[in-house]
Amino acid sequence: MSPGPDDDAAAGGCPFGHGALVPADGADGADDAITHHDALLDFSGEMSYGDYLHLDQVLGAQHPLSPDHNEMLFIVQHQTSELWMKLMLHELRAAIDALRADRLPAGFKMLARVSRILEQLVHAWDVLATMTPPEYSAIRAHLARSSGFQSWQYRCIEFGLGNKNGAMLRPHAHRPDLLAIVDAAWRAPSLYDEALRLLARRGLPVPASHLDRDWTRPYAASDAVEAAWLVVYRDPEAHWDLYQLGEELADLEDAFRLWRFRHLTTVERIIGHKRGTGGTSGVGYLRRMLDTVLFPEIWKLRTDL
């Protein structure tokens, strides 16, 4: 029998077959330094890769509830999405702060990163799409009523992007610590609200109704806001950074729409029109969410320009 990856790893070599193995006696001579490209091999007194990344916790957090082989895919897909959402929120909050402080280049960098993360998550659906309806059925009962609908990070992202809906706080009522975080995102001005306040600081005619309002209310599209953006888009040279901001917003919403669409199509191929574990109509609900428009004037101005 050929040695398995664990045998190599136990011997100190790369489990994927790269590089050489540590000699069985663990000798630590000059030849070894050459063989191992001077890599440090003794971590008894040093912080290792796994220590730094807390891999024991991260890789110890997959606990399938069914005996089914495919549940690991389902868990890893959700957990990796949550990790990317964690980074997205980190960048989105910092981007909102940057706009508020008129630090546009820093904000652009972060917004570009959010868009690239979303693109990454769009491609991730291809992995989940390898799950067939019978494979999902084998684990469905074990999921009980849990659903991505209850993702507090996702809700903070939606709120941060301006898709406010107070009803979405309710799934978090049983966790006051998380509820406080989602509630704060609901009450705060969104990325787009801060973008409009920035336009106003630059002397563009944004109506007062859109500069200070009850931020928990859904955003209401406005011809006057569109008129302000049109000033920017009719003379990009004169307003280059605001023009760039408008296009960063378009990039972000474009990527988010693709994520929503791939979620919908992946869900449809796996569960058809069955109800969701979260209790909604499933595909019908996700299809309605596709109609969400986060930055309406950024899209409308393309028709009116």
Which residues here bind ligand HEM, judged by CB under 6 A?
77-78, 81, 128, 131, 136, 147-149, 151, 154, 263, 267, 270-271, 276-280, 282, 285-286, 289
Contact yes or no for 267/133 (Cβ under 8 A):
no
C-alpha to C-alpha distance for 90 and 31, rounded to whole angstroms: 45
Give the amino acid at 2: S
Burial 111-135 (b: 16+ CB within 10 A, else e): bebbbebbebbbebbeebeebeeeb
Minimum distance from residue 281 beta carbon to ligand HEM (Å): 7
Residue with tokens 């895919």: 73
Q: Which is nearer to ligand HEM, 89 or 286 (CB)?
A: 286
Minimum distance from residue 61 beta carbon to ligand HEM (Å): 15
Minimum distance from residue 252 beta carbon to ligand HEM (Å): 16
Contact yes or no for 111/242 (Cβ under 8 A):
no
Distance set, CA 177 to CA 27, 168, 181, 189 (Å): 52, 16, 7, 21
**Whose CA is closest to 296, among 225, 202, 199?**
225
Q: Which is nearer to ligand HEM, 234 or 275 (CB)?
A: 275
Minimum distance from residue 178 beta carbon to ligand HEM (Å): 15
Beta strands in the chain (DSSP E): none
Q: Which is nearer to ligand HEM, 162 or 276 (CB)?
A: 276
Return all residues near 135 (Cβ < 8 A) that are at least 6 apart: 68, 70
Minimum distance from residue 214 beta carbon to ligand HEM (Å): 22
Residue with tokens 């409308």: 300
Phi (first) and psi of residue 89, to 5 degrees: -65, -40
Q: Which is nearer to ligand HEM, 22 or 271 (CB)?
A: 271
Minimum distance from residue 154 beta carbon to ligand HEM (Å): 4
Q: Which is nearer to ligand HEM, 146 or 209 (CB)?
A: 146
Q: Which is nearer to ligand HEM, 149 or 243 (CB)?
A: 149
Minimum distance from residue 275 beta carbon to ligand HEM (Å): 6
DSSP one-letter code for 22: P
Q: Which is nearer to ligand HEM, 164 or 263 (CB)?
A: 263
